[in-house]
Amino acid sequence: MPQTKIAGIGHYVPDQIYTNDDLTKYMDTSDEWIQERTGIKQRRYAKKHEETTTTMAAEATKIALERAGIDKNEIEMIIFATLSPDYYFPGCGVLLQRELGITETEIGALDIRNQCSGFIYGLSVADQFIKTGMYKNILLVGSEMHSMGLDFRTEGRGVTVLFGDGAGAVILQPTTEENQGIYSTHLHSDGTHAEELAMINPGSHGGRHLGKEKYGYPDEANPGGVFVTQKMVDDHLLSPNMTGQLVFKTAVRKFPKVINEALVKNGFESSDIDMLVPHQANLRISQFVQKSLGLKDEQVYNNIQRYGNTTAASIPIALCEAYLEGKVKRGDLVCLAAFGSGFTWGSALLRW
Ligand X SMILES: CC(C)(COP(=O)(O)OP(=O)(O)OC[C@H]1O[C@@H](n2cnc3c(N)ncnc32)[C@H](O)[C@@H]1OP(=O)(O)O)[C@@H](O)C(=O)NCCC(=O)NCCS
| Chain residues that interact with ligand X, rule: CB under 6 A | 29, 33-34, 37-38, 116, 157-158, 161-162, 242, 244-245, 247-248, 281-282, 285, 309, 340
Residues 155 and 205: beta-carbon distance below 8 Å = no
Task: Read off the amino acid at residue 201.
Answer: N
Smallest gap from Cβ 258 to ligand X, in A, equals: 14
Smallest gap from Cβ 118 to ligand X, in A, equals: 11
- CB neighbours of residue 242 within 10 Å: 16
Residues 243 and 197: beta-carbon distance below 8 Å = yes
- CB neighbours of residue 338 within 10 Å: 33
Cis ω before 152 (30° cut-off from 0): no
* Residue (182 or 281) nearer to ligand X, CB: 281
Smallest gap from Cβ 316 to ligand X, in A, equals: 15
49 is catalytic: no
* Residue (115 or 173) nearer to ligand X, CB: 115
Residues 20 and 42: beta-carbon distance below 8 Å = yes
* Residue (183 or 345) nearer to ligand X, CB: 345
For the chain, the straight-line distance linking the first and the last C-alpha, in angstroms and rounded, comes to: 18
Residue nearest ligand X, CB atom distance? 244
- Rounded to whole angstroms, the Cα distance separating 234 from 107 reads 42
**Residue of 114, 279, 282, 303 marked catalytic:** 279
309 is catalytic: yes
279 is catalytic: yes
Smallest gap from Cβ 239 to ligand X, in A, equals: 14
* Residue (217 or 248) nearer to ligand X, CB: 248
Dihedrals phi, psi of 42, to nearest 5 degrees: -160, 165
**Residue of 116, 146, 282, 303 marked catalytic:** 116
Q: What residues act catalytically?
A: 116, 279, 309
